Structure 1
Amino acid sequence: MNSYARFLVLLLPLTTNEVIADSLVDLTVTGRLTPDACRVELSDEGTVEHGKIPTYRLNASAPTALPGRVLELSVICTRPMLFALVGIDNRPESAITPGTFGLGANAHVPGQRLGSVSLSYRDSIGDGQHMQALASINNGETWVPQSAATPQTYMGFALQGERQPDFISQLFSQLWVDTVIDATEHLTLDRDVPLDGSIVLDLRYL
């Protein structure tokens, strides 16, 4: 049967062009090779809601720190994996302090930056053991102990005293979120102004 099929194909060039066109069909093979997956989740659907903040409670000449919030973070993998979490700032031009995430611009006066958001990982537990957070500013080449997660910094987790991230299958950590509003002398606040911080936590395999 196979040789017969080949014979028919060899004869096709001797037939008309119309027959050739009708006898051709494209075959596309697609897919994606991926490592074993890890699932990242945040409590409260990853939302920090500060509610209504009366402007009279804000400092006129210095930034005002809002009450801190804590989200519960979990990373669940199908097997022990080597990974890092990277914070990507969707409002990168609006931060008022270097090394922090932006809080967005004033919706009514776009040139005014509203403030900053700081993230830090605390009380981390990996596979049942206490872990420290490690930071890398060169895409994972070198690491230092650091709980603060600055934009684009790789954040890994390891046992106390280690200087390289560990393979982990289940990680649970507190993600502390601290928000600061810029001094009101820099802002136009004659109308309601929504805070607009937006950060993506990107899990990257090492």
Structure 2
Amino acid sequence: MKDYFAAPLTVALVCVVPHVLAASTVDLTVKGTITPVACTPVLSNNGTVDYGKIFRQDLSVDKRTQLPDQVLDLNIQCNGPSRFALVMHDNRDGSAIVNSEIYYGLNRDKSGNNIGLYSLNFDPAQTVVDDLSQVYRTDSTTGGLAWSLSSSRPIPIGAKSYLGFTDVAGSNAGPIFIQHLSSRVTIETVIAPTSQLDLSADVQLDGSATLDMVYL
């Protein structure tokens, strides 16, 4: 359910000199598109990556420690061909140990220290779209107004960049219409040096992000 609010409207009466013509009306345009096409994204393991217990002696005191990579399967099923892109939103914004749109935070320890970071990486070679023989990725840093040349190179999904897919290499036309997409994504996780963490008690990795579909 969406909450709605009423904005107060104040009408001012203005005395107009007879020989001055003033417009007494204003136009309002309400636009939108109702479409029968809808897509459902699903991540394997309910979108959860669990590293279990991580022992202090397995982490570096003065350097960042990269944990073993984890993988999740992403499936997107649409009830008709749809043109869309993907974008991530960090629900722990500001807690990544590196300030970059491709890194997401693991929250903070009890003393407020940033615990680490993770990224979500897409590989076109691990992505299947409908019955296409090969898939390329393309991205946009302008909200879909312009697109990079499509490529087969893997890429981490960003919080400010759209990620889309096409069947044409070297194209800047943007994503194509897709009905079904499946991809194996790799999660790379890094922990801050233990010298920068409060380990007087258990530290919980608490990363949370939302993978959003943007219809184009």
Q: With structure 1 as the length reference, what TM-score do the two structures score?
A: 0.80
1:120 and 1:160 map into 2 onto residues whose CA distance is: 21
Q: Report the Cα offset of residue 128 of structure 1.
A: 2.1
1:113 and 1:180 map into 2 onto residues whose CA distance is: 11
Answer yes or no: is the 8 Å Cα contact 1:124–1:133 preserved in 2. Answer: no
2:213 paired residue number: 203
1:176 paired residue number: 186
1:131 equivalent in alignment to 2:135 = yes
1:15 paired residue number: none
CA deviation profile, 1:157-194 (whole Å, cap 9, x unmatched) = 11141331110000011111111001111111121111
Q: With structure 2 as the length reference, what TM-score do the two structures score?
A: 0.76
Answer yes or no: is the 8 Å Cα contact 1:38–1:76 preserved in 2. Answer: yes
Q: Report the Cα offset of residue 34 of structure 1.
A: 4.6
Structure 1 or 2: larger strand share?
A: 1
1:131-170 alignment runs, 5 A limit: 131-144=135-148, 145=151, 147-161=155-169, 162-163=171-172, 164-170=174-180
2:204 and 2:138 map into 1 onto residues whose CA distance is: 33
2:138 and 2:59 map into 1 onto residues whose CA distance is: 34
Percent identity between matched residues is 38
1:1-206 alignment runs, 5 A limit: 33-97=34-98, 98-99=100-101, 100-106=103-109, 108-109=110-111, 111-122=112-123, 123-129=126-132, 130-144=134-148, 145=151, 147-161=155-169, 162-163=171-172, 164-206=174-216
1:168 and 1:156 map into 2 onto residues whose CA distance is: 10
Structure 1 or 2: larger helix share?
A: 1
The letter for the 1-side match of 2:190 is V
Q: Give the match's secondary structure for 1:150.
A: coil
Answer yes or no: is the 8 Å Cα contact 2:60–2:193 preserved in 1. Answer: yes
1:67 and 1:160 map into 2 onto residues whose CA distance is: 33
1:21 paired residue number: none
Q: Give the match's secondary structure for 1:138.
A: coil
1:178 and 1:50 map into 2 onto residues whose CA distance is: 12
CA deviation profile, 1:40-86 (whole Å, cap 9, x unmatched) = 00001100000000011111111100011110001100111000111
2:62 and 2:40 map into 1 onto residues whose CA distance is: 43
Task: Name stretches of at least 5 consecutive residues in structure 2 with no aligned partner.
Answer: 1-32
1:149 and 1:55 map into 2 onto residues whose CA distance is: 30
1:166 and 1:140 map into 2 onto residues whose CA distance is: 13
CA deviation profile, 1:121-167 (whole Å, cap 9, x unmatched) = 12111112221222211111222246211223211111141331110
1:185 and 1:121 map into 2 onto residues whose CA distance is: 32
Task: Name stretches of at least 5 consecutive residues in structure 1 with no aligned partner.
Answer: 1-31
Q: Which has the larger radius of gyration?
A: 1
